[in-house]
Amino acid sequence: MWAARLWLCAVLFAAASVYAQTSPPGIYEPEYGQPGKDVVWVPTPEIVVDTMIDLAKITASDFVIDLGSGDGRLVIAAAKRGARALGMEYDDNLVAYSRRSAEQQGVADKAQFVKADIFASDFSQATVLTLFLLPEMNERLRPQFLAMKPGTRIVANFFGIGDWSSDEAVHVPDKDKCGNYCVAYLWIVPAKIDGAWLMPQGELALVQGHQYFKGWLFANGRTTVVEQGRIRGDTLNFTVDGVSYSGRVSGNVIEGTVGHEGASVRWTATRKVP
Amino acid sequence: MFVSKLIRRSCAIVGVVALTSVAWAQPASKDKEFQPEVGQSGKDVVWVPTAQTLVNKMLDMAKLTPQDYLIDLGSGDGRTVITAAKRGARAHGIEYNPDMVELSKRNAAKEGVAGKATFEKADIFASDYSKATVITLFLLPELNVKLRPTILDMKPGTRIAANSFDMGDWKPDQTARVEGDCTSWCTAYLWIVPAKVAGTWKLPQGELTLKQQYQSISGALNSGGRSTVISKATLNGDHISFTAGGAAYSGRVNGNTIEGSMTGGGKNTSWTATRN
């Protein structure tokens, strides 16, 4: 729920008067544009929160971690969908505020908050990550994102993750409800398949670019090109000589099926390790 | 396209056909200095850089010294050649993509080794790399196998270090795997070009018949009407050793001559063999 100091300065003064509400003395209320550790606080519009949760297909079996959870709205919304959700937030006041909100909305058991620096935190157990950070922060976190379990969903408001193209993007049409931040992106952490693999009939070389790959199959002294390589989580698909392969990656093994003369035949590959 | 850091960090593969539908490769913009992208299509391969840790390992395995002349076949962004030059060797990169050649020259200049690290735009299949004492490569298996006859004709003892792909039925002399900054394509292979020893050799004490499959040798020594199968036979570059009839032979192969020493019956004597 954070966005850019520099990018937003101009709009902040105008927006602050709208967002800042008069609160009873002594009760902390966050203010739109208030400075944070690496960002200023800009809340994700509620409609985008819902869009992000839908896009990630968050269910009761998920563990959601929101990186920079701000006033807690996304964590609370995820908890209301039955998921266990954790907000990581650097600002103590926002953490306390989020806990109160979760309490008030009856989801304190599922919606938890911790004061933390996201760059020094372990969020690897999440099945869904949500974020509204600056592009360079997303970029900095990318190695950690890519190291997460294949299939982990990452949803972000507005800013992308460098040149890692999103698997899906949703544009919220309701401008008056989402203001300047009307796009939600979804990335699905791809299995790591880059490298050489051994198959019963020969050797498979795959060169991976996030969720896409190209490659070659060397079999019977012949080289054929692997085409249309695509990975979604731990599932991969490609064609060789017009034959479709699909499979599931589990560490150093790929198991799947290949369409062969109208029938479905099993195939396996193991990572080439000396 | 991958992260540029990854690109800088890591040189060479892979492929056989230039692919056109490269989802992640984007055209370099004209006004910027050329930046290579992992997965970009080359002549017979796409470019995948070798992780620096593996470059180091390959040069370690090849026991590269300042007396060596290294040629990298498909030198990519030049990292292997530059690393070899920094170790004091003369090093040369052959690369088909002229942008990569220019980039490599700039990189070598930046690293202060332009005097030792040279690059040329050429097709490795039409190049003469026979003067190298060390060859490095990161090509596809089929390409390695295509290069194999030429490599086997190189001077015995020439070291070949490859990333990830082997040479068909020519088994590597060494295999190593690195970790650290290397997440994929982390296997290095080393071959030492064996001397050609197959045939019948005349010794003062008889006749030595050798069979050879790359660096594997077997054979028999015929002496005084008796044939003894040789054992513990090894061939490492031009260095041959074997045991026959209780004597241990070792020697250096030089064309049609082997000269060396043998130990047997408590005596150490020299021996010479010439090929018929």
CATH of the domain at A17: 3.40.50.150
Mean confidence (pLDDT) of chain A: 89
Nearest-angstrom CA–CA distance, B73 and B81? 10
B6 touches chain A (CB under 8 A): no
Say which of B23, B141, B177 has its CB closest to residue A218.
Answer: B141
A227: how many CB neighbours lie within 10 A of its CB? 15
B169 touches chain A (CB under 8 A): no
Which segments of chain B belong to CATH 3.40.50.150? 4-190
Number of domains into which chain A is organized: 2
Do B36 and B100 form a contact (C-beta atoms < 8 A)?
A: yes
| pLDDT reported for residue A233 | 97
Average pLDDT over residues A12-19: 37
A207 touches chain B (CB under 8 A): yes
Q: Which of residues 134-163 of B touch A (CB under 8 A)?
A: 140-142
Give the percent of chain A with pLDDT over 90: 72
What are A200-243's pLDDT values in tens digits? 989 999 999 999 999 999 988 888 999 999 999 999 999 999 89
> Are A29 and A157 part of one and the same domain?
yes
Confidence of residue A129 (pLDDT cuts 50, 70, 90): very high
A80 touches chain B (CB under 8 A): no
**Model confidence at B261: pLDDT above 50:** yes
Nearest-angstrom CA–CA distance, A191 and A210? 9
> Are A153 and A215 part of one and the same domain?
no
Which segments of chain B belong to CATH 2.40.128.20? 199-275
**Model confidence at A21: pLDDT above 60:** no
Q: How close, in Å, is residue A223 to chain B by CA atoms?
A: 7
Instruction: Give the range of the structural domain holding residue A245, as residue numbers without chain letter.
Output: 195-271
Match 């080439």 to its residue by tokens: A272
Rg (CA), chain A: 22
> Are A26 and A75 part of one and the same domain?
yes
Average pLDDT over residues B90-112: 97
**Model confidence at B122: pLDDT above 80:** yes
Average pLDDT over residues B221-232: 93
CATH code that applies to domain B4-190: 3.40.50.150
Nearest-angstrom CA–CA distance, B215 and B158? 13
Q: How close, in Å, is residue A107 to chain B by CA atoms?
A: 40
Last residue of one domain, picked from the residues A188, A209, A236 = A188
Query: CA-CA-CA-CA torsion for A68, A69, A71, A77, nearest 10 degrees?
Result: 160
Say which of B22, B185, B187 has its CB closest to residue A274.
Answer: B187
Here the CATH number for the domain that contains residue A209 is: 2.40.128.20
What are B2-30's pLDDT values in tens digits? 323 333 333 344 433 333 333 344 444 44
Quick one: DSSP state of residue A119?
A: G
**Model confidence at A70: pLDDT above 50:** yes
> Are A45 and A98 part of one and the same domain?
yes
Say which of A192, A210, A274 has its CB closest to residue B184.
Answer: A192
B13 touches chain A (CB under 8 A): yes
> Are A80 and A200 part of one and the same domain?
no
Mean pLDDT lowest among A170-184, B103-117, B147-161:
A170-184
| pLDDT reported for residue B32 | 67
Burial (0-12, 13-18, 19+ Cβ within 10 Å), A5: middle
Nearest-angstrom CA–CA distance, B187 and B199? 35
Quick one: DSSP state of residue B124?
A: G
A139 vs B contacts (CB less than 8 Å): 3
> Are A236 and A108 part of one and the same domain?
no
| pLDDT reported for residue A25 | 56
Confidence of residue A102 (pLDDT cuts 50, 70, 90): very high
**Model confidence at B108: pLDDT above 70:** yes
| pLDDT reported for residue A7 | 38
| pLDDT reported for residue A2 | 43
Q: What is the ipTM of this complex?
A: 0.75
What are B169-199's pLDDT values in tens digits? 999 999 999 988 888 899 999 999 999 999 9
Say which of A192, A225, A227 has its CB closest to residue B183.
Answer: A192
Size of interface A-B (CB pairs under 8 A): 82
Q: Between the CA of residue B218 and those of A212, B194, B240, B246, B258, what are the distances in Å?
A: 48, 14, 11, 16, 16
Do B242 and B232 form a contact (C-beta atoms < 8 A)?
A: yes
> Are A55 and A94 part of one and the same domain?
yes
Confidence of residue A24 (pLDDT cuts 50, 70, 90): low
Last residue of one domain, picked from the residues A188, A212, A242 = A188
The answer to whether the CB atoms of A216 and B22 lie below 8 A apart is: no
Average pLDDT over residues A265-269: 95
Last residue of one domain, picked from the residues A154, A188, A222 = A188
B27 vs A contacts (CB less than 8 Å): none
> Are A147 and A165 part of one and the same domain?
yes
Match 């060169």 to its residue by tokens: A207
The answer to whether the CB atoms of A223 and B14 lie below 8 A apart is: no
Q: Which of residues 27-46 of B touch A (CB under 8 A)?
A: 38-39, 46
Say which of A139, A212, A225 has its CB closest to residue B17.
Answer: A225
| pLDDT reported for residue B265 | 85
Mean confidence (pLDDT) of chain B: 88
Q: Which amino acid, B13?
A: I
Query: Residue A249's beta-bridge partner residues?
Result: A254
What are B231-255's pLDDT values in tens digits? 999 999 999 999 998 899 999 999 9
Residue in A189, A153, A152 with CA at minimum distance from that of residue A56? A153
> Are A104 and A220 part of one and the same domain?
no
| pLDDT reported for residue B27 | 43
| pLDDT reported for residue A11 | 35
CATH code that applies to domain B199-275: 2.40.128.20
Say which of B14, B15, B23 has its CB closest to residue A209.
Answer: B23
Nearest-angstrom CA–CA distance, A213 and B183? 16
> Are A171 and A208 part of one and the same domain?
no
B47: nearest CA partner in chain A: A207
Q: Which amino acid, B216?
A: S
**Model confidence at B165: pLDDT above 50:** yes
B25 vs A contacts (CB less than 8 Å): 209
Q: How close, in Å, is residue B184 to chain A by CA atoms?
A: 5
B206 touches chain A (CB under 8 A): no
> Are A42 and A158 part of one and the same domain?
yes
**Model confidence at A13: pLDDT above 50:** no
> Are A86 and A167 part of one and the same domain?
yes
Report helix, strand or coil for A32: coil
B184 vs A contacts (CB less than 8 Å): 192, 194-195, 208
**Model confidence at A272: pLDDT above 60:** yes
Give the percent of chain A with pLDDT over 70: 91
Tell me which of B1, B11, B184 to substitute to probe the interface with A (most A C-beta atoms closer than 10 Å). Answer: B184
Task: Say how many Å lie between the first and final Cα of chain A, rounded.
Answer: 46
Mean pLDDT lowest among A45-49, A138-142, B33-37, B183-187:
B33-37
Residue ranges of E strands in B114-186: 117-121, 134-137, 159-163, 174-177
